Structure 1
C-alpha cells in the first residue's frame, strides 16, 4: 500500500540539537543524578513535553496504528492489553525523551518476533510524525522525531539486514558479508 511521504522536520532541525542544547547548558561538574534532573527540566522547558503530553501522543499514535492496514494487523496479533501497552510506551518515551529512566526492557527483543519488514519502519515514522505534528510543539517534534529515526534505523538494521543498503553496513553485502567489488564475479 502506498502512503504519503513524511514531511521534513520543522525548520531549524539539526539532529539532536534539543538534547545537545540541554547538555551544553548544564553544569558538567554536577553529580549524575542532579545533572540528570537538570537535563530533564531543561528538556521539558525547551520542548514543552511532560507526562500528559506523552500520554496523549502515545494514545493518539496507537489509535492511528491500529487503523493502519499495514501496521494494524501486526499490533493486533501481539498486543492483548492496550492500556498496559500505552503505559509501557509512555515509560519508554519519558525515558528516552525526558531522561525519566523508567523503561528497562529490551526493545530489540520485543520487536524480533514480529516479522517486521523495512517498509514497516517507514510507515511507523510517517504515522509518528503525523501524530507529533498534531500534539506537540515544533521543538518537541524535532526532538522526538530525531530519537524515533535513530531507533527505527537501529531496529531496521538489526531486524531487516537483507535490505540494508551497502552504504549503511560498511560496504558488506547484506547476505554474504562479501565486500562489493566492481566487476567481480
Structure 2
C-alpha cells in the first residue's frame, strides 16, 4: 500500500516546481498532493517567510507544526478531515485569515486564541448549535464570515439566519459572501 506524502516531500516538490527555496517564499501551496498529506509536521517550520500557506485538499486530521511561522497571516486548510481548532494557539496573535471550509468541525473551542482573525471561511462543517456559534463573539476583529452549509444555518431561512448573525456579531461586515448593510450605513 502506498504511503501518504509528508510535508517535507511536499515542500521539496514545491521547490522543484517553482525553482526556488521555500524558506524565502511568501506564498506556499501544498494542497492537493498525491498521495495526500495526512499529517502536518515540524518540517513546516522551514517556511520561515511564509505569509500564506495552503494545505487544502489533503487528508489532514489535526493542525500542528506551524507554531514557528512568525509571518503567517493566511492559512488555508479547506477540504481536509480537521475536527478542532487546536494547534492554532501559537499563531493566534498574527493569523488574519483562516480558510477551513469542508472539514469536520462541530465545536468552536479554541477559536478565541485567534485575536487578529479578520476572515473566517468555515462553510460546509458540522456546527449545529448557537452556543458554539456564539464563540465567534470572542474574535474582536472578525469582519468576514463564510458559514453556509453548516447544520445551524441550514435549518432557517436566509433572512432569519442573517438577522441572528448580525445581532450576535455586530462588527461583521460580510456574511456568506454578501456585505452586511445596517441601518445608518448608507
TM-score bucket (shorter structure):
under 0.3
In the superposition, the TM-score normalised over structure 2's length comes to 0.26
Greater Rg by CA: 1
Which structure: greater strand fraction? 2
Which structure: greater helix fraction? 1
In the superposition, the TM-score normalised over structure 1's length comes to 0.26
Structure with the bigger RCO (C-alpha within 8 Å, sep 6+) is 1
